């Protein structure tokens, strides 16, 4: 869709800079891209930030969410003005009545999330060994340690927030499954994509394909734009 703005929504233990390679490639292809910072103090605050960003756009917008960023995008619900599609990158795509914590509790803790450290303010942090060895397992360890150092903690309360009517029920969707994901099980990602009816691709990636496989992310975003035309 010509003139569509791309809004990139980062997930937990990250910030807008995790999209840097994707932003650079999309800008080089002539796209308008925004990669805002999300507070991760609550799901409500994060959705409010996304709405703030969307209100600043004059035309159609494609929202791309990674991991918990998919939760933020999904929680737009039926009130998503100017949003013409959703792209999920190894992301949560919950249905009405579900929570992230409920889904994660259906199996043993994943390797990347098995040792979350909850501080006295109720925020979850990832230990360095789990971040480097599991969360970003296919990223150069030097770069992964930098990402860990810059991690933004997630309010643990977000794991219990129950989804209302999901935005994906009213919008076309695309999904990138990270087949080596050690944070969200790949089979869970496939299940999210299937019930959305999403156009789906699979990439041999850890949980952070926008860092380790940015070209695959860019290609899926451009596929979405082409199919929206």
pLDDT, position 213 = 98
- Rounded Cα distance between 40 and 107, Å, is 25
pLDDT, position 2 = 53
| Predicted model pTM | 0.97
Helices (runs of H) and strands (runs of E) counted in the chain: 9, 9
- Rounded Cα distance between 125 and 152, Å, is 8
Q: Give me the helices (H) in 75-140, please.
A: 100-104, 128-130
pLDDT tens string for the chain (229 positions)? Answer: 458 999 999 999 999 999 999 999 999 999 999 999 999 999 999 999 999 999 999 999 999 999 999 999 999 999 998 999 999 999 999 999 999 999 999 989 999 999 999 999 999 999 999 999 999 999 999 999 999 999 999 999 999 999 999 999 999 999 999 999 999 999 999 999 999 999 999 999 999 999 999 999 999 999 999 999 8
């Amino acid at each position: 869709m010509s003139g569509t703005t791309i809004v990139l929504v980062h997930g937990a233990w990250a910030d807008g800079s995790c999209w840097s390679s994707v932003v650079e490639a999309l800008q080089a292809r002539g796209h308008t891209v925004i990669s805002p910072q999300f507070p991760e103090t609550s799901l409500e605050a994060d959705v409010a930030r996304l709405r703030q960003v969307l209100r600043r756009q004059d035309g159609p917008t494609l929202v791309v969410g990674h991991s918990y960023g998919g939760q933020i995008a999904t929680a737009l619900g039926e009130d998503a003005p100017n949003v013409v599609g959703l792209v999920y990158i190894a992301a949560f795509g919950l249905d009405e009545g579900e929570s992230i914590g409920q889904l994660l509790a259906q199996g043993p803790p994943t390797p990347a999330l098995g040792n979350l450290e909850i501080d006295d303010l109720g925020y979850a942090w990832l230990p360095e060994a789990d971040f480097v060895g599991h969360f970003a397992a296919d990223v150069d360890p030097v770069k992964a340690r930098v990402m860990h150092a810059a991690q933004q903690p997630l309010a643990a309360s977000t794991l219990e927030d129950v989804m209302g009517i999901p935005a994906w029920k009213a919008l076309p969707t695309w999904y990138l499954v990270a087949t080596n994901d050690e944070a969200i099980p790949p089979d869970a990602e496939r299940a999210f994509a299937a019930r959305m009816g999403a156009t789906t691709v699979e990439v041999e990636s850890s949980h952070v394909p926008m860092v380790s496989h940015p070209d695959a992310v860019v290609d899926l975003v451009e596929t979405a734009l082409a199919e929206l035309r």
